[in-house]
Chains A and B, each alone.
Chain A
Amino acid sequence: MMNKLLFGRFIPGESFVHHLDPRNKLLMSFYYIGIIFLANNWSTYLCLFLFTLLAVYLSSIKMGFFIRGVRPLIWLILFTVLLQVFFTRGGKVFWSWGPIVLSQYGLVNGAYIFMRFVLIIFMSTLLTLTTPPLSLADAIEAILKPLRVVRFPVYEVALMLSIALRFVPTLMDETEKIMNAQRARGVDFGEGNLFQQMRAVVPLLIPLFVSSFNRAEDLAIAMEARGYQGGEGRSKYRILTWHYRDTFVVLAFIALTGILIWLRA
């Protein structure tokens, strides 16, 4: 069940994208989502598509994985697209039935929304597929650092984040194991009516919470035993470095922004 989910997984590799600075990748992914909204005609969307395909190509990860990343969200996408298609007025009207109109603008808008979704999913999938979770946590820490000025507990948040990320797979395994153990005791997960399904979750959730409490306690003791005193004044083992290729990527994004502004209607 859970192992079908590709989003948030990391595929180790040695490509150009893999070797980028995670801070850069994270910031650029957000930036990319921002500039997608600059696109408002076919040529700008084409431009974004080519750029995304180039990024995918540079990651040397098979296209199939990206398409699979879209799959879990396909219903949400279709729902939004259909809303756009049937409730936008303007241009040539092809067909209408009461408030529902199939118009020229509607179709175009629907197509734009669809492309927007696909592009955003591709780029965020690219980020998670090529960046190990711990590097992402490091990147978030580095990016949040300026917030220390306003007394934001950056170290603590970063620590929580990296611990949380570290334990996601462990908890998933644990969930799977407890589910199997309860299945062997005759629990049916995901069957019956809503009430029955909710009740079936109890034998899964309680052990999961209990083991999380125990794990947190053990981890805290182990950390203290190894001399952890708190975030301030620690040195770092994983040091992020900014390479020329990172600068190059930033320049590419700036160029893309320029082209988009120039091409947009």
Chain B
Amino acid sequence: MDITFQNVAYTYQADTPFESQALHDINLTIKSHSFTAIIGHTGSGKSTLVQHLNALLKPTSGQVKIGQRVITPETSNKNLKPLRRKVGMVFQFPENQLFEETVVKDIAFGPMNFGVSAADAQQTALAMLDLVGLPQNLAQRSPFDLSGGQMRRVAIAGVLAMEPEVLILDEPTAGLDPAGRREIMGMVAKLHQQQHLTVVLITHHMEDVANYADCVVVMENGTIAKVGKPSVVFQDVAWLQKQQLGVPETTAFALRLQKHGFKFAQLPLTETELAQALLPQLPQGMVARTHDE
């Protein structure tokens, strides 16, 4: 299910004194089964952009094509359910959306809204607990008794339970400890690889982009500043810094090594890449340098 933006613009509170344009003339295609990361500094329109992916916001001009459905400014709010089932969306701090008496009821809430029977929904919900790495004995607890990290997993499970084809995550790891972050990101990567979900991830962690994404969209002031593979986008370090964005720490470290004479065909993004690039250079490189001097 490809998602295509054609000349999309969006204005908040149009026709009031408070109107502000959040998106300008966006053209973008998110391919089926891809892992797209959206980066950009705060207020660049990332969250606004992703809310178009399941028609929570409709463009003020232009159109968004989601699979077969075309969303235009005139699209009515009816009959959007089938679309929302296919495009699951995990908002920032999703633990704020929990409300049911028990964890399992909350996870089953989504599927039941889409007409899944209560018994089936409950079964899916229990399966989702395993998927997001929560013990089964939490199933009958109140979601409000859980820790922050656990609540977030329940919320994500609630979205996954709808069995979406596209999974959108708006900073899923914000406010989590490093272990929690790794687990959540690992889970997302697993879903992407094993269930071939299309993943759209908003993040400020360049490491996550480098490790998982196969496409990066850089946003700035409501426009798309750059689209490409992480390995390409992260080469232009000066440009990224101008956008108030960084590079993964590995890349930053490689840059410092470069100043001291190491050579990289292209800047490595992950630790593995860095190690592979350094390995052939280490012994010979040092010898070569002593010769030069």
Mask, B70-113, CB within 8 Å of A = 1, is 00000000100100110111011010111100000000011001
What 3 A-B pairs have minimum CB-CB distances, sorted nearest first? A186-B113, A206-B99, A181-B97
Q: What are some 28 contacts across the A-B interface (CB < 8 A)? A: A3-B13, A68-B16, A174-B96, A177-B91, A180-B51, A180-B56, A181-B89, A181-B96, A181-B97, A182-B97, A183-B84, A184-B54, A184-B84, A184-B87, A184-B88, A184-B91, A185-B109, A185-B158, A186-B81, A186-B85, A186-B113, A191-B78, A202-B99, A203-B97, A207-B96, A207-B97, A207-B98, A210-B144
Asked if B17 and A65 make an inter-chain contact with CB atoms under 8 angstroms apart, the answer reads: yes
Query: Which of B54, B96, B110, B159 has the most chain A CB atoms closer than 10 A to its own CB?
Result: B96
List residues of B whose CB falls within 8 A of some A CB.
12-13, 16-18, 51, 54, 56, 78, 81, 84-85, 87-89, 91-92, 94, 96-99, 109-110, 113-114, 144, 158-159, 162
Range for the number of chain A residues in contact with chain B: 20 to 34
The smallest beta-carbon distance between A200 and chain B, in angstroms, is 10
Q: What CA separation (Å) do A114 and B114 show in the bound complex?
A: 48
Contacts of B144 in A (CB 8 A): 210
Q: A181-B91, A203-B109, A210-B144 are in contact. Are A186 and B17 (CB under 8 A)?
A: no
The smallest beta-carbon distance between A215 and chain B, in angstroms, is 11
Contacts of A6 in B (CB 8 A): 16
Asked if B159 and A184 make an inter-chain contact with CB atoms under 8 angstroms apart, the answer reads: yes
Residues 147-186 (chain A) with a chain B CB within 8 angstroms = 174, 177-178, 180-186
List residues of A whose CB falls within 8 A of some B CB.
3-4, 6, 9, 11, 62, 65, 68, 174, 177-178, 180-188, 191, 202-203, 206-207, 210-211
Asked if B56 and A183 make an inter-chain contact with CB atoms under 8 angstroms apart, the answer reads: yes
Across chains A and B, the number of contacting residue pairs, with CB separation under 8 Å, is 67
The smallest beta-carbon distance between A146 and chain B, in angstroms, is 36
Q: A3-B13, A3-B18, A207-B98 are in contact. Are A187 and B113 (CB under 8 A)?
A: yes
Contacts of A11 in B (CB 8 A): 17
Known: A177-B91, A182-B97. 5 other contacts (CB 8 A): A181-B89, A181-B96, A183-B56, A207-B96, A210-B144
The smallest beta-carbon distance between A64 and chain B, in angstroms, is 9
Q: Can you name the residue of chain B whose Cβ is closest to the Cβ of A5? A: B16
Asked if A207 and B56 make an inter-chain contact with CB atoms under 8 angstroms apart, the answer reads: no
Q: What CA separation (Å) do A211 and B98 show in the bound complex?
A: 10
Q: What CA separation (Å) do A262 and B81 show in the bound complex?
A: 64
Q: Can you name the residue of chain A whose Cβ is closest to the Cβ of B93? A: A177
Asked if B81 and A188 make an inter-chain contact with CB atoms under 8 angstroms apart, the answer reads: yes
The smallest beta-carbon distance between B101 and chain A, in angstroms, is 10
Q: What CA separation (Å) do A203 and B105 show in the bound complex?
A: 12
Contacts of B98 in A (CB 8 A): 207
Asked if B89 and A184 make an inter-chain contact with CB atoms under 8 angstroms apart, the answer reads: yes
Q: What CA separation (Å) do A87 and B158 show in the bound complex?
A: 57
Asked if B56 and A184 make an inter-chain contact with CB atoms under 8 angstroms apart, the answer reads: yes
Contacts of A188 in B (CB 8 A): 81
Contacts of A180 in B (CB 8 A): 51, 56, 91
Q: A206-B99, A210-B144 are in contact. Are A185 and B159 (CB under 8 A)?
A: yes
Q: What CA separation (Å) do A65 and B19 show in the bound complex?
A: 13
Q: What CA separation (Å) do A180 and B77 show in the bound complex?
A: 13
Contacts of B91 in A (CB 8 A): 177, 180-181, 184
Contacts of A207 in B (CB 8 A): 96-99
The smallest beta-carbon distance between A84 and chain B, in angstroms, is 32
The smallest beta-carbon distance between A171 and chain B, in angstroms, is 12
Q: What CA separation (Å) do A184 and B50 show in the bound complex?
A: 12
The smallest beta-carbon distance between B111 and chain A, in angstroms, is 8
The smallest beta-carbon distance between A8 and chain B, in angstroms, is 12
Q: What CA separation (Å) do A11 and B113 show in the bound complex?
A: 41
Contacts of B51 in A (CB 8 A): 180
Q: Can you name the residue of chain B whose Cβ is closest to the Cβ of A190? A: B77
The smallest beta-carbon distance between A130 and chain B, in angstroms, is 12
Contacts of B99 in A (CB 8 A): 202-203, 206-207, 210
Interchain CB contact (< 8 A) of A186 among B56, B84, B92? B84
Contacts of B162 in A (CB 8 A): 185-186
Contacts of A191 in B (CB 8 A): 78
Q: What CA separation (Å) do A184 and B13 show in the bound complex?
A: 21
The smallest beta-carbon distance between A249 and chain B, in angstroms, is 24
Interchain CB contact (< 8 A) of A181 among B12, B16, B17, B94? B94
Contacts of B88 in A (CB 8 A): 184
Contacts of A178 in B (CB 8 A): 96-97
The smallest beta-carbon distance between B2 and chain A, in angstroms, is 20
Contacts of B16 in A (CB 8 A): 3-4, 6, 68
Asked if B113 and A3 make an inter-chain contact with CB atoms under 8 angstroms apart, the answer reads: no
The smallest beta-carbon distance between B96 and chain A, in angstroms, is 6
Contacts of B114 in A (CB 8 A): 186
Q: A3-B16, A180-B56, A180-B91 are in contact. Are A185 and B110 (CB under 8 A)?
A: yes
Asked if B18 and A186 make an inter-chain contact with CB atoms under 8 angstroms apart, the answer reads: no
Q: What CA separation (Å) do A178 and B94 show in the bound complex?
A: 9
Q: What CA separation (Å) do A68 and B18 show in the bound complex?
A: 14
